[in-house]
């Protein structure tokens, strides 16, 4: 969802997987990034950022997310000083490339861009320049994938906006953190319980009237699962089973899979990354928005969210 809550772009998991493979192929074969290389991701808040981030994880490239700091985030800090922090971070991690979008790429289109990096020459790559004449068979050829990504390999580099301390996560650590993050999702609130109770009561009356004992048994099983109200364990299989059951319940009640709604600032912080990866990891539908969307047009924003989430 864009910052004005005017446009929503939906992707299926099949389309997302296709875009991630396509971008991964481009980074590996065209940009020549290898497994273990550090790539700075410098994007405006967008779905493109999610695609590039997932492509890096898939191909073993280590993403380090950055953005130009907005003076509104720190009113006491001039833009020039805020952006100086960006170049300092580049000098610290010495990435193999800076992956960015067309708008930000133009900002760095000048001879002074390497002068600020203290002798560290960095390639700036516009990821929208994917060659359109590349055959799909090349992209889908799994024999051309790089070496297998292992749990002990570096996954990504995270940091806070105004702190030079960096956290390097392995793929195993990232997977464990996603599972832990997933357990924090509440099973249901009181309003949802009321909806379920109404739905179950209606189904019971209808199935009893029809004498459909099998359907009645399924309803009772779902009612029992709903009332358990336990927090799922961190085990991947338990989490998958838990969210699969949640999706079933959501399909019956709302006619669509379980949806997750994010109101996190789209500034590529750790919270957004964990949220986006966790929901993708568990196969949930996700609506990504930002507080800016609300402050710009609150009525339009709430109407859009209510419509997409099918909630009141």
Q: What is the mean pLDDT of residues 26-33?
A: 89
Whole-number average pLDDT of the chain: 71
Alpha-carbon distance values, 180 to 173, 176, 277 (Å):
10, 6, 12
Angle between helix axes 47-59 and 13-25 (nearest 10 degrees) is: 60
Cα gap 221→74, rounded to integer Å: 52
**CB contact at 8 A, 249 and 227:** no
Higher local confidence (pLDDT), 40 or 197? 40
At residue 56, the pLDDT reads 92
The fold for domain 13-182 equals Rossmann fold (3.40.50)
Helix/strand/coil for 65: strand
Say yes or no to pLDDT of 39 above 80: yes
DSSP H helices in the chain: 13-25, 47-59, 79-93, 102-107, 136-140, 171-182, 190-210, 213-228, 236-254, 270-281, 291-296, 298-309
Higher local confidence (pLDDT), 125 or 180? 125
Strands 166-170 and 154-159 come out as: antiparallel
At residue 13, the pLDDT reads 83
At residue 63, the pLDDT reads 92
Say yes or no to pLDDT of 191 above 70: no
Alpha-carbon distance values, 171 to 18, 60, 168 (Å):
21, 9, 10
Please, what's the b/e burial string for 237-273 (b: 16 or more CB within 10 A of its CB; e: otherwise)? eebeebbebbbebbeebbeeebbbebebebbbbbebb
Domain ranges (residues) in the chain: 13-182
* pLDDT category of residue 209 using cuts at 50, 70 and 90: low
Tokens of 60: 């073993």
To the question of pTM greater than 0.85 for the whole model, the response is: no
């Amino acid at each position: 969802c864009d910052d004005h809550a005017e446009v929503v772009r939906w992707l299926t998991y099949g389309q997302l997987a296709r875009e991630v493979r396509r971008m991964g192929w481009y980074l590996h074969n065209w940009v020549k990034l290898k497994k273990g290389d550090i790539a700075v991701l410098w994007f405006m808040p967008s779905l493109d950022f999610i695609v590039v981030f997932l492509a890096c994880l898939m191909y073993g490239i280590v993403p380090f997310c950055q953005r130009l700091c907005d003076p509104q985030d720190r009113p006491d800090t001039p833009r020039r000083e805020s952006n100086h922090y960006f170049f300092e971070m580049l000098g610290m991690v010495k990435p193999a490339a800076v992956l960015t979008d067309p708008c930000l790429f133009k900002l760095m289109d000048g001879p002074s861009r390497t002068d600020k990096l203290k002798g560290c020459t960095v390639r700036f790559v516009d990821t929208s320049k994917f060659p359109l004449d590349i055959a799909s068979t090349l992209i889908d050829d799994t024999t051309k994938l790089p070496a297998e990504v292992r749990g002990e390999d570096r996954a990504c580099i995270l940091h806070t906006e105004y702190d030079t301390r960096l956290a390097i996560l392995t793929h195993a650590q990232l997977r464990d953190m996603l599972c832990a993050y997933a357990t924090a999702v509440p099973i249901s609130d009181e309003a949802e319980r009321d909806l379920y109770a109404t739905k179950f009561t209606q189904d019971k009356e209808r199935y009893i009237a029809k004498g459909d004992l099998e359907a009645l048994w399924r309803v009772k099983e779902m009612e029992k699962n709903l009332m358990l109200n336990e927090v799922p364990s961190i085990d991947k299989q338990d989490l998958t089973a838990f969210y699969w059951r949640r999706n079933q319940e959501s399909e019956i009640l709302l006619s669509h899979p379980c949806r997750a709604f994010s109101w996190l600032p789209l500034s590529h912080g750790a919270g957004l990354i964990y949220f986006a990866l966790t929901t993708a990891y568990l196969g949930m539908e996700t609506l990504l928005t930002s507080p800016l969307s609300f402050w710009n047009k609150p009525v339009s924003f709430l109407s859009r969210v209510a419509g997409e989430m099918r909630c009141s």
